[in-house]
């Protein structure tokens, strides 16, 4: 079945329908990872977006459910150059085609993803429609595409009630804004007892459980939309409980303490982004997935100072909070997919909790 990707600027790509045949309008973003497509599909940070994979062959090692980063895939749509129809891997349990169909996610294969990515890099992230309707009328659908805006996505992806992953060590409260499973797993593997809380949990409830540390997770959408969460983070900031934040959590803590964020032209999504630790001068290759960034010009150095910077475009990649047991990063130390260069940050968090005791 033929399918079409129609961008808000009127550009049309023609290909083959994969997954569900339903029509969808979404924000179109690209990911440069060469492997880890299942982890990308199951990353809740992609809620409200359709993902373009720049690597030309996707699906060759199939689907292994053990590698999923949440209970289901989250993108609105999936866009690839070539989809492998016959996966070859002893761990494979399913094909991407069937996986997408099972979760009613539409996609398109057979398009020039290199040309599409160049458009998104030059013009910036834009909305688009995936459709199998060959009789589409641009003049009717372009206003609808342009009007789309992802909203309410954190509430969509967060857990519905708190739950505990047992451990004998430090007690960590993980606020789930769309957390990848490897965040909790990385803490659990270090002996921590991890209690996962829904995104809109009141600060008082978290503090009443007397955690040794608080983890703020990744998640989707515009951080400025999360006004209720920001209000609770202001209360957590005022305590002496050690806090470690990743991605959306990093942005929300900056907003809670008077900083600002802005939308990037096309964001950082992939597994090859170099970040520099400003304290040591060492550079790490990181996994990233974000379209917003903290504006360092908005920071009060009495509250927070830059701790990491992106080597490519010099945007902020992390903050150290002055006089507080708080540090935050824009990238993903939990990886999945890799690289795992920055996993040591979890050990730094454990050290903070140990000292705070």
Query: Residue 71: its pLDDT value, please?
Result: 96
Residues 6+ apart with CB under 8 A from 120: 28, 29, 30, 52, 126, 266
CATH number at residue 119: 3.50.30.20
Out of 44-53, 82-91, 173-182, 217-226, least confident range: 82-91
The pLDDT, as a whole number, for residue 200 is 98
Given a cut of 90, whether residue 36 has pLDDT beyond it is yes
How far is Cα 164 from Cα 195, in angstroms, rounded to an integer?
4
pLDDT of residue 357: 81
Segment holding 207, helix H or strand E: helix 203-208
State the pLDDT confidence band at 149, using cuts at 50, 70 and 90.
very high
Does residue 268 have an active-site annotation?
A: no
Report residue 84's pLDDT band, with 50, 70 and 90 as the boundaries.
very high
- Residue pLDDT, tens place only, 95-141: 999 999 999 999 999 999 999 999 999 999 999 999 999 999 999 99
247 has a pLDDT exceeding 90: yes
Q: What is the pLDDT of residue 161?
A: 97
pLDDT, one tens digit per residue, over 304-325 is: 999 999 999 999 999 999 999 9
Q: Three-state SS for 266?
A: strand
* Cα(230)–Cα(228) distance, integer angstroms: 5
Tell me: is residue 289 an annotated ligand-binding position.
yes
Report whether pLDDT(85) > 90: no
Instruction: State the CATH number of the domain containing residue 171.
Output: 3.40.50.880
Is residue 250 part of the annotated active site? The answer reads no
End position of a domain, from candidates 150, 180, 197: 150
What is the arithmetic mean of pLDDT over 25-54?
Answer: 97
Flag whether 49 is marked binding. no
What is the tens place of the pLDDT at every residue in 325-350?
A: 999 999 999 999 889 999 999 999 99
The answer to whether the CB of 154 falls within 8 A of the CB of 160 is: no
Mean pLDDT rounded to a whole number for the chain: 97
62 annotated ligand binder: no
Question: Are 70 and 134 members of one domain?
Answer: yes
Catalytic residue selected from 247, 273, 317, 336: 247
Asked if residue 174 and residue 117 are part of one domain, the reply reads: no
Catalytic residue of the set 170, 250, 273, 332 = 332
Q: Tell me: do 123 and 108 sit in the same domain.
A: yes
105 lies in the same domain as 178: no
Q: How confident is the model at residue 356 (pLDDT cuts 50, 70, 90)?
A: confident
pTM of model > 0.85: yes
Task: Let me know whether 327 and 302 are in one domain.
Answer: yes
Confidence of residue 37 (pLDDT cuts 50, 70, 90): very high
Is 270 marked as binding a ligand?
Answer: no
Active site residue 334: yes
Do residues 304 and 160 share a domain? Answer: yes
Q: Looking at the structure, do residues 120 and 184 belong to the same domain, yes or no? A: no
Q: 207-239 pLDDT, tens per residue?
A: 999 999 999 999 999 999 999 999 999 999 999
Over 90: is that where the pLDDT of 279 sits? yes
pLDDT at 101: 97
Between 227-237 and 248-256, two packed helices, what is the crossing angle to 10 degrees? 70
Distance between CA 181 and CA 66 in Å, rounded? Answer: 11
139 with 180, same domain: the answer is no
Q: Which pLDDT score is estimated for 306?
A: 98
- Do the annotations mark residue 221 as ligand-binding? yes
Q: Is 142 exposed, middle or buried (0-12, 13-18, 19+ CB in 10 A)?
A: middle
Query: What per-residue confidence (pLDDT) applies to 338?
Result: 84
Nearest-angstrom CA–CA distance, 325 and 329: 14
Per-residue pLDDT, averaged over 147-157, amounts to 95
Our count of domains for the chain comes to 2
Together in a domain, 180 and 45: no
Domain that holds residue 220: 154-356
pLDDT at site 274: 98
Side-chain-side CA neighbours of 344 within 13 Å: the count stands at 6
Q: Is 196 found in the same domain as 94?
A: no
Q: What is the pLDDT of residue 192?
A: 98
Of the residues 150, 169, 203, the one at which a domain ends: 150
291 carries a ligand binding annotation = yes
- How big is the chain, counted in residues? 357
- 345 known member of a binding site: no
Last residue of a domain, one of 104, 128, 150: 150
The pLDDT score that the predictor gives to residue 337 is 87
Region 195-203 average pLDDT: 98
HSE toward the beta carbon, residue 202, CA cutoff 13 A: 3
Task: Please check the confidence at residue 7 and state whether its pLDDT lies above 90.
Answer: yes
Whether residue 102 sits in one domain with residue 163: no
Cβ neighbours of 115 (radius 10 Å): 10
Residue 219 assigned as binding residue: yes
Same domain, 170 and 233: yes
């Amino acid at each position: 079945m033929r399918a079409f990707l129609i961008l808000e600027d009127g550009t049309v790509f023609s290909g083959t329908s994969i997954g569900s045949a339903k029509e969808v309008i979404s924000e179109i973003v690209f990911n440069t990872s060469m492997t880890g497509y299942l982890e990308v599909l199951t990353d809740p940070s992609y809620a409200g977006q359709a993902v373009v994979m720049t690597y030309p062959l996707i699906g060759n090692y199939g689907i292994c459910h053990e590698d999923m980063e949440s209970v289901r895939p989250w993108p609105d749509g999936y866009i690839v150059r070539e989809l492998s129809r016959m996966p070859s891997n002893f761990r494979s349990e399913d094909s991407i085609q069937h996986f997408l169909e099972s979760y009613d996610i539409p996609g398109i294969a057979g398009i020039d993803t290199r040309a599409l990515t160049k458009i998104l890099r030059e013009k910036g992230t834009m909305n688009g429609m995936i459709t199998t309707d060959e009789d589409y009328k641009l003049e009717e659908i372009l206003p609808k595409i342009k009007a789309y805006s992802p909203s309410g996505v954190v509430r969509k992806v967060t857990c519905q009630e708190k739950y505990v992953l047992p451990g004998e060590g430090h007690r960590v409260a993980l606020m789930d804004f769309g957390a990848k499973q490897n965040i909790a797993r990385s803490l659990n593997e270090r002996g921590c007892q991890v209690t996962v809380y829904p995104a809109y949990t009141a600060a008082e409830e978290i503090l009443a459980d007397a955690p040794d540390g608080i983890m703020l997770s990744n998640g989707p959408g515009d951080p400025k939309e999360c006004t209720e969460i920001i209000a609770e983070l202001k209360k957590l900031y005022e305590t002496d409980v050690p806090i470690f934040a990743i991605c959306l959590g990093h942005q929300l803590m900056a907003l809670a303490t008077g900083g600002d964020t802005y939308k990037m032209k096309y964001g950082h999504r992939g597994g090859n982004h170099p970040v520099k630790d400003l304290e040591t001068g060492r550079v790490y290759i990181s996994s990233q997935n974000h379209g917003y960034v903290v504006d360092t010009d908005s920071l009060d150095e009495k509250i927070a100072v830059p701790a990491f910077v992106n080597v490519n475009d010099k945007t902020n990649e992390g903050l150290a909070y002055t006089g507080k047991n708080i540090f935050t990063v824009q990238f993903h130390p939990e990886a999945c997919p890799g690289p795992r260069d920055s996993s040591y940050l979890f050990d730094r968090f454990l050290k903070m909790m140990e000292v705070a005791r």
